[in-house]
Structures are given as structure tokens and as C-alpha cells.
Amino acid sequence: MSTQTTALEFRSPVPLPPIPDDLTIPQFMLKYQHSLRPSRPHNVPWLIEDRTGKGVFTEELLTRTHRLANALSARWNVGEDDVVCVFSPNHVDYPIVIWAVHSLGAVVTPANPSYTIEELVYQLQISQTRLIFVHSEFVKTARTAAQRAGIAEDRVVVLPASGGGKVIGTSIDELISSAQSTAFKEYHLKPGQAKSKLAFLSFSSGTTGKPKAVKIPHYSVISNVIQMAAHYKVNDACAAKKLFVPGDVSLGVLPFFHIYGLVVTMHFMFFCGASIVVIPKFSFVEFLKSIARHRITHLFVVPPQVVLMCKHPAVKDYDLTHVRYVMSGAAPLSGELVQQLRKLCPNASIGQGYGMTETSTSLTMFPPDQTIGTIGSAGKLIPGVTARVVKADGSLAGEGEQGELVVTGPSMALGYLNNEAATKETFVDGWVRTGDEVIIKNQEVFVVDRLKEIIKVRGFQVAPAELEGHLLLHPAVADVCVVGIPDDYSGEVPMAFVVIDTKFKATLGQGSGEVEKLKKAITEHVSVSKVQYKWLAGGVEFIESIPKNPSGKILRRVLRDAVKEKMKKGGRPAVQAKL
């Protein structure tokens, strides 16, 4: 079969099996036997708690999900379209909370537990959250944010940390143990309804402003799981190479609140019959210990973790020959790192994938017949994805030509919640504009550049406009431009170019000490209010004026390119002289 549907559209030659459109995610995950799904042996746990090694097997998983749904229905009357926030690092009860909420027809909005109070309040208000599940280490932030968002204190439920400890307030274990035996009314969908019934409100930064709530229906997640299973020929008796078999042990360190961890690490690996080792917090040496202790076979990682694996001196003390599969996503991975990783994991298939919150999730993955993914490639299009490459003049590019990647398929999200303008910009007639400039050749997608202004820090999205708006609140900042600059560990980090208000310029003339003092104050203005990956790790540089076009739009690329050129020459990224 041709790799293209037309000369100007691209898709996988692998057929996509039927996708049920009348199931919720928990019905699909816990009850439905798809033809691509292998049977999970009774002695294979779904989840393994990293610290204790305790496994959560099928019966316990079903019981806790069912009883939690009962409790939510009985105590707070949680039901159709109510929104429940999960504000927690990875936890063995994370999928149980999700599926209990979905079983009632309600919606989950996962939140980053590193958020400040203000950032969490924003998400709670935009999503109109009614109830919060919070890890015990983040209760103070959650309760303060809940109060400001008008959520009653008794609607904050605690997920206890591993190892126990006193829980102040209602805990999930208390809810489950006190649940009535009477069955809750399980939410059922009509044929076709899964395509529109919301499952998640996952937050993603657009090109401007604050993060936006992406509307993800049940069908999108179910579709993407089936697409990935078809791509890797899971449960295919004729497959020449089986990368996924029941009993595999998968790394669960990528955050479940992020779309990569939520769909790929969690739901896809559950579907394949794997056990997920749940790791709440990434610490590199502990990360290595977990891989060795649990004999983890499948690693889902991001480039900063790969950098550490290739460069950290502790790695030499660990045997990683039992690892059979390594997938890196969320940001590009260099060919040099792939080759180094191959030496560490000599028995593993290694490659990259690509996706977005707005496409829920994967669009490309390296294929099963490649031991090492094509260097520089983000992988091949997975079944069901149709791609176009759109040139700057609006015409469609052919194979090997460069342009913006625009995609469609069964897993696309529905748009942004209550944001028609942003939705129209990204979601166009069933197609999603990725904002990434690519070349497609032999179904392989090569990401060339990012058209969107988004900065990707360790896979997390940072909108420059959000930081610029916050920086302008500082009295010394008259104008500002934030750009992403290259960083070996994080991929990119934010850097701010600041035009100083005239009232502060006389002070700066008193010496370099005052300049550094003001830079530090501006940097701290961000760090005290924003989650850590949004901090100005690239620094602050003072500049006479921000380059703009005649209509006033910031020429961000001018500053970004000047920084990169300066860094190539080994200098600090100061570019005032060029401007």
C-alpha cells in the first residue's frame, strides 16, 4: 500500500481496527476485550507501589474503583459533567480516582502538583471544579486554592503518601471503606456518544496567554490506545517481534497529569497487560534503583532523563540489560544520545514518539521493526492519523518538502473550553494545527522547527506571553520579550529580554552590582509566582528596545536567533549590540 492517500496527504499503511464509540474509558479498560488486547494473567498486578513493592491486582482495582464511585455518588452526588480535579504526583490510586469519576459520567481535570496557589486557582475556576483529590504533601496549597475558588473544605479528599502517616481531613481510604454496598448508577453512553462525552479537561499552553483547558472525550483516549496497539501489532500472533506482552514491567515516573503519562504510560500499558511501577517523584539515583529493583522492561522517558542516563556517573553501577523498550517523547532527542543509550540498554528497542495534548496523544512512534529509530525522526505516523504539510503560502507540501504539520484522526480533542478564538486558530474543520514545522519522508516525521512560540521545558509547555504579562507587573519592567534558549538538560529554558523603566535607569548607572541586583529581583518575581519549569533559567538581559514589526508584533525569532548565534560562539546570550 502507498504511504500516501494522495500526493499531498500522508498516513500509515497499517489498517486501524474498529473503535467502540459507546464506551467510557473505565468500561473499555476494565470490561471490554478488544481483539488487539492480550489477556492479563491473574498473577500480574496492574500497579506496583515503588517504595513498598506492593502490587494492586485486578480484584482490588475493581473493588476500589467501584466503592469510590459509590462514595462520590452518595456523599456529594457527583454525576454527569461534574468536574473533579486530581492534584497529585503519581499515586497508585490515581487511575482508580479517574475511573471512579468517569463511571459516574463526570470529568477529570489533572493538575500539576507543583503549581502555586494562584496557578491552581486558575485551573479550578476555568474548569469549574466541584471536588479535589490531593496528595497529602500538597494539602495546604489545595485547601487554600479551593477556598479562593469557592470549593468547600470538605470537598478536598486526601491521597495518603506511601508509608502512611496522619491524614488531616477526609482520605480516599475512608471514603472507600465507608461506601455503602448499594450500587451506584453507572454512566452509559449511546452509540456515537463517546465521541462527544468529555473525559478530561487537560491544560495546555497555547501560543498566547495562560494555559487552556483542552476538551478530551472518552473516544479520543480509547482511539489512541487502539492506534498504538495496532502500530505495535500487540496481541498479533503473526508479529515477527513482540515488544509488548503481558507481564512486562513499565516505568511510571512521567507525571500522570501530563498527557504523555496519562494516555501512553498509563492507559496504553494497562491495555498491553503490563504492570506499572508508580514513582511519585523523579530523583535520578532513586530512578536507577527502581529500574533495577523491579526489573523494569519498558522505559517511557523524556530527553532530560536520557541525558542523565548517558552522563551521570552513578549509571555504571547498574545493569540495564533487562530493559527491552525505551520511548523518548515530549521533545527531540539527539542521535548522539540515542547511540549512548544503546550502549546502556543493549537489548532494548529505542526510539522517539511525538504527540500533543490537543491530539490526545500520540501521532507518531518508532515502529516495531526498528531496533533503533531513525536518527532525527520523531517516528512513523501511527494507524488512523492523516497528515498534511502546509507551506507558508497555504499550499500543501509533497514528500520531503517542509511546512507546518496539520493532522486529523480519531483521537483529536474537541477544542478549548470556553475559548472560541483559540479553538478556531488550532482546530480547523476537523484538523489540528500542530505549530511544528516538519518534513515527512517514508511516513517518518522529522521536526524541523517550532512555528508556535511555545517553549518546551523538559516536555512542559511554557507560553512566553504568560511570563511576559507577569513580568510587566514588575515596576522596573517597561517592555519585555521571553524566548526559549537551548539547554542540554531541559531542551529549552525561558530567557527574558527586558527594557527597563526610565525611573530605574539612574539607579543602574551606579555600578554593575545594581544591575545584577535588579536582574535577580526580576528573576525572583517569576520564581515566587510560577511553577519551577516556568522560571527564567536562561537569565535576564537588559535591552534598549524590543524588536517589533510595523503592526507592533514582537519579532521573537530575531532575539531567539541572535541568542543561538551568540551561544554558538561560546558567549553569554547578550545581544544588545546586534539590536
Q: For the chain, what is the domain count?
A: 2
Residue 51 pLDDT: 93
d(CA 462, CA 443): 29
Q: Within a domain: residue 570?
A: yes
Cell of 578: 546586534
What cell numbers appear for 522 in the block? Answer: 526580576
Alpha-carbon distance values, 534 to 86, 88, 117, 454 (Å): 21, 19, 15, 12
Question: What is the C-alpha separation between 522 and 235, in angstroms, rounded?
Answer: 55
| Whether pLDDT at 434 is above 70 | yes
Q: Which residues contact 572 (CB under 8 A, 6 or more apart)?
A: 566
Average pLDDT over residues 359-367: 96
Give the pLDDT of residue 572. 52
Q: Is 449 helix (H, G, I), strand (E, B) or coil?
A: strand
Q: Is 520 exposed, middle or buried (0-12, 13-18, 19+ CB in 10 A)?
A: exposed
At residue 303, the pLDDT reads: 81
- Given 168, 201, 234, the domain boundary residue is 201
User: Does 304 score more than 60 pLDDT?
Assistant: yes
CATH number, domain of 503, equals 3.30.300.30
Domain membership of residue 559 (yes or no) is yes
Domain presence at residue 528? yes
C-alpha span between 153 and 380 (Å, rounded): 48
pLDDT at residue 503, rounded to an integer: 82
Query: Are 380 and 10 spatial neighbours (Cβ–Cβ below 8 Å)?
Result: no
> What mean pLDDT value characterizes the chain?
90
Beta strand pairing status for 83-87 and 129-135?
parallel
Q: Is residue 110 part of a domain?
A: yes
Q: Euclidean distance between the first and final Cα of the chain, in Å?
A: 53
SS3 content of the chain, % helix, strand, coil (to 5): 35, 25, 40
Taking alpha carbons only, the member of 133, 90, 110 closest to residue 279 is 90
Which residues sit opposite 157 in a β-bridge?
133
Q: Are 561 and 486 in contact (CB under 8 A)?
A: no
How is residue 548 written as a grid cell?
517589533
* Residue of 458 and 154 predicted with greater confidence: 154
How far are the Cα atoms of 32, 216, 266, 482, 554 from residue 542, in angstroms, in the given order? 59, 41, 44, 12, 16
Whether the predicted pLDDT of 208 surpasses 60: no
Phi, psi of 75 (to 5 degrees): -80, -40
Q: What is the CATH number of the domain that holds 150?
A: 3.40.50.980
364-382, pLDDT tens digit by residue?
A: 999 999 999 998 899 999 9
List Cα–Cα distances, 218 to 63, 73, 124, 305, in angstroms.
22, 20, 21, 31
The confidence score (pLDDT) of residue 578 equals 30
Contact 88, 113 (CB under 8 A): yes
Residue type present at position 122: Y
The predicted pLDDT at position 502 comes to: 82
Q: By C-alpha distance, which of 278, 264, 220, 218 is closest to 23? A: 218
Of 390 and 4, the structure prediction assigns the larger pLDDT to 390
| Domain end call among 201, 221, 249 | 201
Local confidence band at 575 (pLDDT 50, 70, 90 cut-offs)? very low
Within-domain flag for 188: yes
Residues 182-188, mean pLDDT to the nearest whole number: 86
What is the per-residue pLDDT for 549? 60
Is residue 147 situated within a structural domain? yes
pLDDT digits (tens, 9 = 90+) for 388-433: 999 989 999 999 999 999 999 999 999 999 999 999 999 999 999 9
DSSP label at 394? Answer: S
Give CA–CA dist 500/480, Å, rounded: 9
C-alpha cell at 133: 483529590
Per-range mean pLDDT, top range of 4-13, 420-429, 558-567: 420-429
Q: CA-CA distance, 36 to 256, in Å (whole number)? A: 24
CA distance 10 to 442: 9
Instruction: Indicate whether 323 belongs to any domain.
Output: no
Q: Look at residue 209 in the predicted model and tell me its pLDDT.
A: 58
Mean pLDDT of 184-212: 88
Higher pLDDT, residue 111 or 169: 111
Determine the Cα–Cα distance for residues 90 and 113; give it in Å rounded to an integer: 10
574: pLDDT strictly greater than 50: no
The CA distance from 432 to 425, in Å, is 9
Task: Give residue 547's pLDDT.
Answer: 85
Residue reference for cell 526510539: 351
Q: Among the three residues 201, 222, 255, which one is the final residue of a domain in this structure?
A: 201
> Where residue 551 falls among pLDDT bands split at 50, 70, 90?
very low
Alpha helices in 14-165 (DSSP H): 25-30, 58-76, 94-103, 117-127, 139-148
User: Is the model more confident about 576 or about 294?
Assistant: 294
User: What mean pLDDT do residues 128-150 have?
Assistant: 97
Q: Would you state the pLDDT for residue 181?
A: 64
For 470, the 3-state DSSP assignment is helix
Give the tens place of pLDDT for each residue, 219-276: 999 999 999 999 999 998 877 789 999 999 999 999 999 999 999 999 999 999 999 9
Question: How far apart (Å, rounded) are the C-alpha atoms in residues 86 and 108?
Answer: 7
Ramachandran quadrant class, 328 (left: phi over 0; alpha: psi -120 to 50; beta: rest): beta
State the average pLDDT over residues 66-90: 96
Distance CA 121, CA 129 (A): 10
Are 571 and 527 in contact by the 8 Å Cβ rule? The answer is no
Residue 508 in any domain: the answer is yes
Structural domain including 509 reads 456-578
- Of 476 and 237, the structure prediction assigns the larger pLDDT to 476
Nearest to residue 218, comparing CAs of 188, 244, 255?
A: 188
Of the candidates 254, 255, 259, 256, the one whose C-alpha atom is nearest the C-alpha of residue 214 is: 259
